[in-house]
Amino acid sequence: MKTKEQFPPGLTVVPISGLANRMRVVVSAVVAARTLRVPVRLVWQPAWDCRARFDQLFLPLNDERATLDGGTWLDTPATKRNLFVPKLLRRRRYAEEWRCYDPGFHPDLMQITTDHPSLYMDTCFSLGPYSHDDLRHTFRPLPILQERINRVASLFTGATVGVHVRRTDHREAISHSPLSGFRRRVDTLLDRGEADTVFLSTDDDRVRQYFRQTYGLRLVTLQPHLERHTLRGMEDAVVDLWALARTTRILGSYHSSFSDTAAELGDIPFEVVTETEIPENTPKPMKRKLVFATNNVHKLREIREIMPADIEVLSLADLHCEGDIPETADTLEGNALIKAHYVYDRFGLDCFADDTGLEVDALDGGPGVHTARYAGDDQNPQANMKKILAEMKEKTDRHARFRTVIALIEKGEERLFEGRVDGIITTEARGDQGFGYDPVFSPEATGQTFAEMGEQAKNRISHRARAVQKLLQYINNQS
């Protein structure tokens, strides 16, 4: 039997649980290695709730006393599933083993490393204090992930509130941090002018859809892989976490380490949203129905993502209204009113319709009202782009603008709202997202076409989005 003195000195720490908990274990162990002057070996093993190696997410540790590796089966925490065999085998390597070490209930680290110079522990808890600088220095995302983080953060303003809504299997967060609490708190910040945009991080697509419907253009959010048992899911978790840290403050879920870890990374205020859930038998307010006179699925998706949750947007298909509505006016305003009246007069439902035109200076404002049918009545987007690129081939003045006019008919009253975005016609099609002329139109000061920047970024600045925002302001003022 070995004596304590015969075991190799040092501390082996195995972080367990999800990403944020592991980060706290690692950074606190790195600090402990410096302050206690003991060698620390960290073992980061992928598991069902964090299926990624350290080096698949972060740059290597930069510390003389702490090392990190992936370990072997011998380093695996002892559980009923593996019949506690790893612990039995480790008796030859360590003088002492602590399972699920918790400094709140167990002796502090200085005492146990003094008493047991050769020690193994697995834990999801911080081993001791550390600074926010320690956390940032220890965890540096890989360059490819940092680029994604920077792209997301470039959409933030100086007053973007970060919101982390934890759901799935986290009962405490679901019970104590309901959506109603988040909405009330975010609305308060927006009303006071303390925030103007919202960045949402969540593990529930239903929550993401709720925020999209509620905050429209003010919302920035990713569409991540939610499975933490995949590498892609863990990469997206890192992007979400560091993006949260780039906001100006964070509203987080009860008993979720993800939120306050992000706040530590960013040195920003953190607030746990707690509130008693609204009783299930509380009657839900009736949604207001508003028809959007279109069968264009791309336009419909854009509008539904922008509209608040209390407005249900119906399409022509929902009314079983087939075919295109004739557009016989010679202005965008006239065509929008024709389409809105077509629905309102036949179905008696409040309705809005839009008409959009691409106006190119070198083409005397054309194609303008004929934008959709520029190359023919079949409204072929590829043919339209090919024609406009051909006509602009020898032009030096490439300035253009997109204009959208929305006509709203509400209780028989007409209202018009216009949105405009200026830019240039590119020399070639670029990008594979969006629709219509998106690949050949570059909004000013962006350096990208609409088709390159993606749907979320486009929805923040597009002509249609600006017109819809004016429509929403009018609707909200009437309520």
**Annotated active-site residue in 115, 355, 397, 432:** 355
* Amino acid found at 353: A
How far is Cα 468 from Cα 450, in angstroms, rounded to an integer?
18
pLDDT at 280: 47
Chain segment 198-207, per-residue pLDDT in tens: 999 998 888 9
322 and 469 within one domain: yes
CATH number for the domain spanning 83: value is 3.40.50
How far is Cα 384 from Cα 423, in angstroms, rounded to an integer?
18
CB 105 within 8 A of CB 44: no
Chain segment 373-421, per-residue pLDDT in tens: 888 877 888 899 999 999 999 899 999 999 999 999 988 889 999 999 9
pLDDT at 391: 93
How far is Cα 163 from Cα 359, in angstroms, rounded to an integer?
39
146 and 114 within one domain: no
166 and 83 within one domain: no
281 assigned to some structural domain: no
342 assigned to some structural domain: yes
CATH number for the domain spanning 440: value is 3.90.950.10
Range of the domain at 297: 288-478
374 and 236 within one domain: no
Please state, rounded to an integer, the average pLDDT across all residues of the chain. 86
CB 411 within 8 A of CB 350: yes
pLDDT band at 161 (very low <50, low <70, confident <90, very high): very high
Question: What is the number of structural domains in the chain?
Answer: 3
Residue 378: active-site member:
no
- Residue among 416, 446, 414 nearest 431 (CA): 446
Answer whether 0.85 is exceeded by the pTM. no
pLDDT at 238: 96
